[in-house]
Amino acid sequence: MSDKDAQVLAVAAIIQRVRPDILLLNEFDGDFTNLALGAFRGVLNSGEGAISYPYFYAPMGNEGVRSGLDLDGDGSPDEWADAFGFGRFPGSEGMVLLSRFPVDTQAARQFSLLKWADLPDAVLPVTADGEAYFSKDMVSAFRMSSKSHWDVPVVLPSGQRVNILASHPTPPVFDGVENVNGLRNDAEIAFWVSYLNGSEFADDTGKEAAFSATGFVLLGDLNNDPIDGEGRKGGIHALLTHPLVSDPMQGSKGAEVAARRYGQANEVHRGNPAQDTVEWDADIGNMRVDYALPSASLAVRDSGVFWPAPDAPDGHMIAEGRDGASNHRMVWVDLMID
């Protein structure tokens, strides 16, 4: 950031263009003093489009945290691949919540220590022979969240609160027949369904309580398309159709153009290409995996995905694939809150 990295500047330009009041960043490397976050906030608050985010929430989760166990089953415990969540070091590829409005960090709840086995109706992986894939020690230690799950109240100027529910589940790929990542991704999404249903979970402070907020927005790269891709669909379907959740089905013209740019997987996908939020390789295809889902109690004024078509005025801000800011696009929702 201090060297004016091209990707950092591209990300900052999009944020300054869309100007969200509350923003979740995924895959932002954290550190124990928030030095990188401070530098990035400085980048955002500079230049003609400067925007200030005086408040933030960025505790480290499970990314890159050593487990001391052989979680990948290769016979060698406590390797890099045996971390509780994917990451090269603690804080690697973490999450950051930025806000123009005060964040009630005292009331915020983090669920990084919650065990996978403690979820209602938890489905744990088995081998091809139907045997338990995890040992008893691993089951008792394996954490549900590959990064973290946050419930963070933000105080609006009117005094009203809106709770931000944030997570970044593991991709449901990169495993074997045991389908560890696929099952875990589904569990990480299903957690929110159980939470909204009123199930009580102990957060990282040990406080066990049910969700009680009326207004919320669920944000995150959930790494699961409701129709296409390898992920299990039970959790994502239950979330998108939950009676407390409103799904704006955000879309963009740029996504439609990108789906036609390359064939292969995009040609056989059944989902609406206008709702894609990520541009992956042609053999995987583009999908809807990033979400901004408000509660049904909030009035949606507008919504979309910042993915302008190449010939649009902002088209130059979006590069193909992983070039430029990211191969993921910003998903947004504009809410009218009294």
**Looking at the predicted structure, is the pLDDT value of residue 53 above 70?**
yes
Q: Which amino acid is at 162?
A: V
Tokens of 260: 């036609």
- Write b or e for each residue in 38-57: b if 16 or more Cβ atoms lie within 10 A of its Cβ, otherwise e: eebbebbeeeeeebebebbb
**Looking at the predicted structure, is the pLDDT value of residue 132 above 70?**
yes
**Looking at the predicted structure, is the pLDDT value of residue 73 above 70?**
yes
Q: Which candidate, 313, 322, 310, places its Cα nearest to that of 284? A: 322
Cβ neighbors of 168 (< 8 A, separation 6 or more) are 26, 27, 95, 146, 147, 220, 221, 222, 223
- pLDDT at residue number 309: 96
Cβ neighbors of 323 (< 8 A, separation 6 or more) are none
Mean pLDDT of 285-310: 97
In the structure, what pLDDT confidence band is assigned to residue 322 with cuts at 50, 70 and 90?
A: low
In the structure, what pLDDT confidence band is assigned to residue 321 with cuts at 50, 70 and 90?
A: low
Per CATH, domain 6-336 is 1.10.3720.10: no
Cβ neighbors of 234 (< 8 A, separation 6 or more) are 186, 190
- CA–CA separation, 162 vs 156, rounded Å? 7
- CA–CA separation, 291 vs 240, rounded Å? 10
Element of type H or E holding 236: helix 234-240
Mean pLDDT of the chain: 95
In the chain, where are the structural domains located? 6-336
**Looking at the predicted structure, is the pLDDT value of residue 1 above 80?**
no
Q: Percentage of residues in the chain with pLDDT exceeding 70?
A: 99
**Looking at the predicted structure, is the pLDDT value of residue 62 above 90?**
yes
Terminal C-alpha separation, the chain:
38
- pLDDT at residue number 75: 85
Residues in the chain: 338
Mean pLDDT of 49-76: 92
**Looking at the predicted structure, is the pLDDT value of residue 108 above 90?**
yes
Q: Are 63 and 2 in contact (CB under 8 A)?
A: no
- pLDDT at residue number 157: 95
**Looking at the predicted structure, is the pLDDT value of residue 267 above 70?**
yes
